[in-house]
Amino acid sequence: MKPAPAFAELAATSNFSFLRAASHPHELVERAAELGYAAIGIADRNSVAGLVRAHVATKAAGIRLVPGCRLVLADGPDVLAYPADRAAWGRLTRLLTTGKRRAEKGGCILTMADLAMLEEGFAGIVSAPQISHEEVELLSNKINILKNIFNVSFHVAATPRFDGCDGPRLARAAQLAEACALPLAATAEPLMHAPGRRPLLDVLTCIREHCTLADAGLRLAANGERHLRTRADMARLFAGDPAALGAGMEIAGGLAFSLDDLAYEYPDEPVPAGRSADGQLARLALLGARARYPDGVPDKVRAQIGHELRIIRELRYAPYFLTVHDIVGFARSRAILCQGRGSAANSAVCFALGITAVDPARSDTLFERFVSAARNEPPDIDVDFEHERREEVIQHIYARYGRERAGLAAAVIRYRARSAVREVGKVLGIPEGTAGNRAEKQAAALARELIGFPRHLSQHVGGFVITRGRLDEVMPIENAAMEARTVIEWDKDDLDALGILKIDVLALGMLSCIRRAFGLIAAYHGRALELAAIPAEDAAVYEMLCRADSVGVFQVESRAQMTMLPRLRPRTFYDLVIEVAIVRPGPIQGDMVHPYLRRRSGKEAVEFPSDELRAVLGKTLGVPLFQEQAMRIAMVAAGFSPEDADRLRRAMATFKHTGQVSFFRDKMVEGMTARGYDRAFAERCFQQIEGFGSYGFPESHAASFALLVYASAWIKCHYPDVFAAALLNSQPMGFYAPAQIVRDARAHGVEVRAVDVNASDWDCTLEEAPQMALAVNGVQPKALRLGLRQVRGLSEADAKRLVAARALDGPFTDAGDLAARTGLAKAVLSRLARADALASLKLDRRPALWAVAGLEDAAPLPLFAAAERSNGGPRLDDAPPPPLPIMGAGEAVAEDYRMVRLSLRDHPARLLRPRLGDLGFAPCAGMARAKHGSWVRTAGLVLVRQRPGTASGVIFMTIEDEDAVANLVVWPKSFEKFRATVMAARMVGVAGRVEHEGNPPHRVTHVIAERLYDLSDLLDGLDEAGGRMAVASRDFQ
Amino acid sequence: MKPATRRVLALWLAPAERPETEPDLRDLAAWCRRYAPWTAPMRDGAGVWIEAGGCAHLLGGEDTMCRTVVADLARLGHAARAGLAGTPGAAWALARTAKTPFAIAAPGTEREVLAPLPVAALRLEPATVEGLSALGLRRVGDLYPLGTTASGRAELARRFPPLLLERLDAALGLTFEPISPIRERTRHIARFTAPEPVRDGEAVTRITQRLVETLCPLLARDGLGARRVTLTAFRADGRAARIDCGTARPLAEARTLMRLMALCLPRLATGPGADAFALEATETEPLRATQARLDGRKDHEDDALTLAPLVEKLAARLGSGRIGRLAPRPRHLPERAQSFVGAFADMPDTPDAATAARPLRLFARPAPVAAAATAPEGPPAWFRWQGAVHAIARAEGPERIALDWWRLDGWQGDPPAVPETLADAVRDYWRVEDARGARFWIFRDGPWRPDAPERWYLHGVFP
């Protein structure tokens, strides 16, 4: 048989034309290579978002990519444009930027006239879906206009559609081409890499059109012919027109552009004139190191810095470090707390520059985890900033580098298992229908295909791209959903693949909290502190953590961490690093937690298979817990080079390319057995490494976080008053609601005072407290005054007006005075009254509300009001108190929760105690004393519900009553029975068995729930007003 | 004048049982006049007022009256509760809050009876109820200390809309709350009473003619046309016979309506004879005036208007469910691309499915034909159907139509072969012309495969 003629398909559409095509870019590339195409061109609708992925795939597939874009015009046929060189690419991305900037987020508006921006240097294909007789003339006019606007060689797409009219249509296309003196180009305009994607394409169409398959009708394609066809097929279809068949190859041959041409250039602002970037970096690193080590830079660190600077020079990364230094320097100059996280903490240079805080003298850094010559991609420096002030940093970056040079990276939002199943179910009509088994299987198969499909582009949490030249000539920029933000079209992986710098400017609530705490300590306790000045290795802090007394402490406040703390019993900073790293899916799934704990408690001997591994695993008692250790094992035990080890880590992180993982498994296991290790041990090692490929922490990252764990724990330990105030003022953040933070503060001897118009600021503040017999860790805590921010629905502006009025003329004397001097609306004053914030005016809730309701609607001008007061004018509150019924205790607590999210008055469980007693529910405090395995009944408000991915469907609930907290474990079989209660109850009763681990005071107690009772109605019954008790729980975060 | 012994009965209907429209509530109020002459629908749509003063003893006392009213309404399908008191406010409050089917406040006891009831029972705005609740004023009795002193009343008036005190005073009987009686809704109905029962068809037709002639001017006066008329015959045996007649457009013209009625009349079962007749336009629509064009013909709705009388006649004779037409349906598969819709239904607005032409006559079942393609994926050179061989002179295609892949499981189509794979679930349609110029629509079932026999079907013929 005659070999099929050569062919190149240029007009493929990938699934980055969201919901319009049914194949990933790499699938198109791989299939085109399989079919022996000469080249594959991908042109998505007004987008180049999928091109980098396609570009990466071509390298493995060995086929050429012709990057392009389908320009969908408002006033003309689609124009597929393929840039011929780097400059033309820049004009294309600028055109797309223009179109996107004028549209709403996600849209792009382009007209024929805009194509003038492209000037020249393109190949173009005009594609019109249907050409009727009448349209030939119209289209030929438009094409002639296009030819004038846009100086390129056009082809007219000839696309068989199998709609019964192919013959006449192709004839008309030829007629059109002739009328415009343009050649034809044969294409299938594929939307799929293979015909088997037709069902998925139909599903995508239905998702786009918001309809079901049954109702979709003509919105679906009549057939599934728009796929990559075999060359023989194309040759047969275009047997009569070999010129059209060869046009794709001819076009591709004339284009030289590849995405590899997008050489990235660092911005040069941070390099002072007259200096080289490397020289400047070396100078700053030296100066920084001297400041970090006032007693002299240790030799180890000096050597490490030298080593790093050499690699950085070799790879020309100096401008990157300088740029990050520049941004961190800005934050410092504005007193914005910041700290590097992630693998950058492996770098002594980053430590010296003040970007990271993990002392390389004290830890075992692995620079290759951070920068690797083999990786040929830029290092990733992630810096956390105070979450409330990060925007200042972002706007600084825009201001310094300009909007045309800086943009946020995109995040590709993809279909995940849950959304895919939901969407496919909707389209197939499965929930309502009487779907048989086969239909469900079909749906499951489709959902599997849909998982991983991009849905839309969003913005990355903080990844900034900064370029030396115009960013919009490298990639299109669009408006973000958030004001004053611009986002590029490519995500993190795309940028990595093209070697483009990205700086992660991240937000961390705990940094805001710590900054506030430092401010409060300085203001109320007269002690100036900063992160680096917190006393190290304080035994009281560790003792507190060992008791799992960690509400509010960074990272270790979750239920899982609280369970781990008394078992691990951290005594040194390094223990905290382990604590942070060990409660992670990686170590848990790799089954490293229990061996580590056994060895730590001396129940198991600490052994090392070899001395070289003792050096790697010594500090974690022979159990690998960190990514760096995995890499080091591969290096020392299996003979991997540092670069290979890094490739191994990356292969594990991208779990999809399973082929690579097995390659590394062989390499590692063979390497280790060749060096005399037991094969079974080698296999186990690899499995462990596999376990935390993507879910383990690097040690450097754990160490960065552990610093904040220690800092926040230290503040909580010594200044519980300050800690609670800082946490409340930084809400929303962390794991616990204000009610639990306040409860915890009171448990630590802090007096908490209610919100009051005559005492509260917007933020929570501290006040002098009566001398206490027992000071906490040597410091006498102040009283915590709740801020007006706790009042639900009160705006900051209104609160500040109130505070300003009070500061001006002293305390308010009565409701009329409050209204007159603040000028607040009656609705706002009513809110304050309902929050019981007028107590200092001798007005309880109802009388306060009565007084506020009686005020004139428009507050009089402050001047007249003052005059009236001094004249002894009429005063509302001279009247005798109104005959209003007294509010009951239950309703008062309910109002507290409703209006300020917590109650200082009483705990609902205490009010319900007699009823709970009648129902046989004992206080939570009794659980710790109950015998192991004994049957108990208890009840409380639900604080937290969690279903960790690692716990195979087990649900953890934390409940509290007036005195204590109890931890419930709900196994799947109980969950099935009591699903509604577990998911929705605000108060639960539970019957089950007690399980203890360890001994007091380091004992962990659980109640294994056998039966659950929804007591929410009982709770709501407390409120005589008939409302809901607004207790908040954190559910499944 | 304030009657000394005013007694008001409030009938409160559970929301689910309330009639959909206000006029219906008026009907209900009118119906209630059997208990007392003065009744009214509640303005808030909650139920019906009955001024019961001086009427209860006629019905066996207040207790019996309440019980009777509630039971009668239950028979009509309304879940109602009754409250009886000296003021409308108190009666409403009792009806609304009663745990029993009815509650009665003895004369002069309104104050005690109201005290434990929630303030919402005073028919206040929700915002007022909420505001009172926030102050702890939740029962009517909580309001007495404030509502009965001058200073207290002034304080309440500062804080709440005047309706609060108005309602409180009225409920307690301190002020008089009037109840305005109903007015009848306009109905378009013509009645005729015969001196003796009529059975004879012709007589019935004559009576109907008179009724139509009475009804049509009533409709025309209001600018309405009938979309549905109901003829009721009250029979000598106490039963009523009814026929319903639908129209394709609003009608107010006696001749047309009568023609239509005449077709329906045979369905009227007069049995032993009927002595009273009523013709009511039960559904009406504004009349559309039609403009005559200069050429003397009517405007754009030509077809619909000229067809309408025929459709009406056929529907009246055969039943409207039996008259229908084909409407295009947005489906690719030819046999699914149309549906049967009722004669009076609006034509769905559907774009034409295919770009390629469709045969005027589509076979209900595709007919298998013997044929073979000459080239890969190509049309056949000939086909044999009903014994005759058609040599194909010209062919246009293929039009490839894929079967609904989500329906392949248990495929019940024609041809019946269940496609094994997705790739099998396609048809290639060709428009072919034989040597004599006859044109056909044929398709190959399944994809062309070099090694497999082809299955060809004839699915329609072109004129």
Position A609 scores a pLDDT of 78
The reported pLDDT for the residue numbered A198 is: 94
Q: What is residue A267's predicted lDDT score, i.e. its pLDDT? A: 81
Q: Please, which residues 440-469 of chain A have a Cβ atom closer than 8 Å to chain B?
A: 442
Give the Å distances, CA to CA, from B455 to A162, A365, B376, B404, B433. Answer: 19, 72, 14, 19, 19
Residue B356 has pLDDT above 60, yes or no: yes
- Burial letters for A708-720: b for 16+ Cβ neighbours within 10 Å, e otherwise? bbbbbbbbbbbbb
Mutate to test the interface with A, among B135, B148, B443 (most CBs of A within 10 A): B135
Nearest to B8 by CA among B65, B60, B58, B46: B65
Beta bridge mates, B192 = B277
Residue A39 · residue A14 · CB < 8 Å: no
Q: Please name the residue of chain B whose CA is at the shortest distance from the CA of residue A199.
A: B405
> pLDDT tens across B131-170, in order?
898 888 989 998 888 888 888 888 888 888 889 999 999 9
Of B155, B400, B405, the CB nearest to A854: B155
For A953-975, the pLDDT digits (tens) are 888 899 999 988 899 999 999 99
Nearest-CA neighbor of A318 among A283, A292, A280, A371? A280
Give chain B positions within 8 Å (CB) of A849: 134-135
Instruction: Determine the residue of chain B that is closest to A886 in CA distance.
Output: B136
pLDDT tens digit string along B390-404? 999 999 888 999 998
Tokens of B369: 């034909």
* DSSP codes, B410-421: T---SS-PPPSS
Q: Is A433 on the interface with B (CB under 8 A)?
A: no
Pairing of strands B224-235, B80-85: unpaired
Selection from B241, B316, B230, B313 nearest residue B274 by Cα: B241
State residue A776's pLDDT score. 60
How many residues appear in chain A? 1037
Q: List C-alpha distances in Å: A52 to A257, A345, A450, A657.
A: 13, 29, 21, 17
Query: In this complex, is the C-beta atom of A359 within 8 Å of any C-beta atom belonging to chain B?
Result: no
The number of angstroms, rounded, from the C-alpha of A506 to the middle of its chain's C-alpha atoms is 9
Averaged pLDDT for residues A567-579: 89
What are the tens digits of pLDDT across the range B258-268?
988 888 888 88
A126, A187 contact by CB (below 8 A): no
**Beta-carbon pairs below 8 A across chains A and B:** 104
pLDDT computed for residue A970 by the predictor: 93
A490 SS3 class: strand
Residues of A within 8 A of B153 (CB-CB) are: none
Does the predicted TM-score (pTM) go above 0.90?
no
CA B377 vs CA A162, A586, A810, B445: distances in Å: 11, 55, 94, 12
Does B429 contact A428 at a Cβ distance shorter than 8 Å?
no
Closest to A181 measured CA to CA, from A230, A140, A135: A140
Is there a contact between A207 and A427 (Cβ–Cβ < 8 Å)? yes
Split at pLDDT 50, 70, 90, the class of A804 is very high
Query: What 8-state DSSP symbol labels residue A1024?
Result: T
Residue A586 has pLDDT above 80, yes or no: no
3-class secondary structure per residue, A525-544: HCCCCCHHHCCCCCHHHHHH
| Beta bridge partner(s), residue B103 | B83
How would you classify the pairing of strands A503-508 and A381-386?
parallel
- Of all residues in chain B, the one with the smallest CA distance to A849 is B135
pLDDT bin (cut points 50, 70, 90) of residue A756 is: very high
For residue A3 the two structure tokens come to 């070999």
Q: Is the peptide bond before B23 cis (omega within 30 degrees of 0)?
A: no
The amino acid present at B313, given as its one-letter code, is K
User: Please, what is the average pLDDT of chain A?
Assistant: 86
In this prediction, residue B300 has a pLDDT band, given cuts at 50, 70 and 90, of very low
Say what the pLDDT of residue A432 is. 44
pLDDT at position B351 is 57
Q: Do A439 and B409 touch (CB under 8 A)?
A: yes
- A920 phi and psi, to 5 degrees? 85, 20
Across the interface, whether the CB atoms of B400 and A442 are under 8 A apart is answered no
Q: How many CB atoms lie within 10 A of CB A566?
A: 20
In this predicted complex, what is the ipTM?
0.70
Residues A68, A49: Cα–Cα separation, whole Å: 11
The token pair that represents A524 in the structure block: 């109320």
- Residues B370 and B445: their CA atoms lie apart, in Å, by 12
How far off is chain B from A163, nearest CA to CA, in Å? 4
**Shortest alpha-carbon distance between residue B3 and chain A (Å):** 35
Chain A CB contacts of B429 under 8 Å are 164
DSSP secondary structure, A253-296, as one string: HT----GGG-------TTSPTTS-HHHHHHHHHHHHHHHH-TT-
CB contact under 8 A, A846 and B376: no
DSSP conformational letter for B197: E
Indicate the pLDDT class of residue A197, thresholds 50, 70 and 90. very high
Return the ∠ at Cα A172 (arms to A166 and A178), rounded to 5°. Answer: 135
Alpha helices by DSSP H, B83-226? 88-97, 110-114, 126-134, 144-147, 150-159, 163-172, 201-221
Q: Which two tokens stand for residue A894?
A: 């309910």
Of A162, A164, A1025, nearest to B396 by CB-CB distance is A164
Residue A863 has pLDDT above 50, yes or no: no
A459 pLDDT above the threshold of 90: no
E strand or H helix at A248, and its extent? helix A242-253
Provide the pLDDT for residue A86: 92
A456 to chain B, closest Cα gap in Å: 27
Note the Cα A491 to chain centre separation in Å.
Answer: 14
Residue B289 scores a pLDDT above 80:
no
**pLDDT tens profile A706-742:** 989 999 999 999 999 999 999 999 988 888 889 889 9
**Type of residue numbered B328:** P
Considering only the C-alpha atoms of chain B, give the largest distance between any 2 of them, rounded to a whole number of Å. 108
**Structure confidence at residue A433 as a pLDDT band (50, 70, 90):** very low
Q: Picking from A369-378, A668-677, B377-386, which range would have the lowest pLDDT averaged per residue?
A: A369-378
pLDDT digits (tens, 9 = 90+) for A897-922: 889 988 998 899 999 999 999 999 99
Residues in chain B with CB shorter than 8 Å from the CB of A428 are 406
DSSP bridge pairs for B232? B242, B278
Give the SS3 label for residue B219: helix
Q: What is the pLDDT of residues A21-59, one digit of tens each?
A: 999 999 999 999 999 999 999 999 999 999 999 999 998
Other C-beta atoms closer than 10 Å to the C-beta of B40 total: 21
The answer to whether the Cβ–Cβ distance between A853 and B158 falls below 8 Å is: yes
Q: What is the pLDDT of residue A93?
A: 94
Q: Higher-confidence residue: B389 or A625?
A: B389
In sequence order, what DSSP letters do the residues of A150-169 get, joined into one string? SEEEEEEEE----BS-HHHH
Collect all residues of chain B within an 8 Å Cβ-Cβ radius of residue A164: 354-356, 396-399, 429, 431
In a 3-state reduction of DSSP, which class is residue B185?
Answer: coil
Q: At residue A957, what is the residue type?
A: M
Structure tokens at A338: 């910041």
Rounded to the nearest angstrom, the minimum Cα separation between B438 and chain A is 19
Least Cα separation, residue B234 to chain A (angstroms): 47
Whether the CB of A436 is below 8 Å from some CB of chain B: the reply is yes
Q: What is the pLDDT confidence band of residue B291, given thresholds at 50, 70 and 90?
A: low
Please give, rounded to a whole number of angstroms, the shortest distance from the CA of B263 to a CA of chain A: 40
Over the stretch B170-214, which tens digit does the pLDDT of each residue have? 999 888 888 877 655 567 888 888 888 888 888 999 999 999 999
Q: How many residues does chain B have?
A: 463
Rounded to whole angstroms, the Cα distance separating A904 from A897 reads 10
Is A429 touching B (CB cutoff 8 A)? no
If pLDDT is split at 50, 70 and 90, which confidence band does A657 have? Answer: very low
Other residues' Cβ atoms within 10 Å of the Cβ of residue A920 = 11
pLDDT, position A196: 92
Chain B environment of A223 (Cβ under 8 Å): 400-402, 426
| pLDDT for A281 | 92
B446 pLDDT more than 50:
yes
CA distances from A873 to A816, A864, A868 (A): 11, 11, 5
pLDDT per residue over A332-379, tens digit each? 899 898 988 877 888 889 999 988 888 887 776 677 777 766 666 667
What Rg, from alpha-carbon coordinates, does chain A have? 34
Tokens of B131: 């505001």
pLDDT at B178: 84
Please identify which residue in the block is written with the tokens 């060992």: A546
Q: Which residues of chain A are within 8 Å of residue B355 when distances are taken between CB atoms?
A: 130, 163-165
Tell me which of A855-864, A1023-1032, B192-201 is least confident.
Answer: A855-864
Q: Do B136 and A887 touch (CB under 8 A)?
A: yes
State both tokens at A79: 């124009």
Which pLDDT does position A207 carry in this prediction? 95
Contact B404 A198 (CB under 8 A): no
The predicted structure's pLDDT at residue B408 = 80
Best B139, B151, B159 residue to mutate vs chain A (most A CBs within 10 Å): B159
- Chain B, nearest residue to A436 by Cα: B409
Contact residues, chain A, for B422 at CB < 8 Å? 195-196, 198-199, 224
What DSSP string describes A68-122?
EEEE--TTS-EEEEEESSHHHHHHHHHHHHHHHHTSSTT-----GGGGGGG-EEE
CA distance A158 to chain B (A): 16
* Mean pLDDT confidence for A167-192: 88
Q: Which residue of A has its CA nearest to B352?
A: A218
**Min Cα–Cα distance to chain A from B396, Å:** 7
A894 lies within 8 A of chain B by CB: no
Nearest CA in chain A to B425: A223
**Nearest Cα to Cα of residue B85 among B172, B183, B3, B214:** B172
The larger pLDDT score, comparing residue A505 to residue A365, is at: A505
CB contact under 8 A, B159 and A1025: no
| Record: contact B134-A834, CB cut-off 8 A | yes
Q: Do B396 and A222 touch (CB under 8 A)?
A: no
**Closest Cβ–Cβ partner in A217, A439, A885 for B136:** A885
Separation CA B82–CA B325 (nearest Å): 53
Q: Which of A797, A787, A786, A804 is nearest to A828 (CA)?
A: A797
Q: What is the pLDDT of residue A862?
A: 47
Q: Is A904 on the interface with B (CB under 8 A)?
A: no
CA A566 to chain centre: 30
Q: What is the pLDDT of residue A998?
A: 75
Task: Please check whether residue A846 touches B, CB under 8 A.
Answer: yes
Instruction: Please give the residue that has the higher pLDDT: either B56 or A545.
Output: A545
Out of A253-262, A268-277, A815-824, B81-90, least confident range: A268-277
Determine the average pLDDT of the residues in A231-252.
92
Report yes or no: A100 and A108 within 8 Å, Cβ to Cβ.
yes
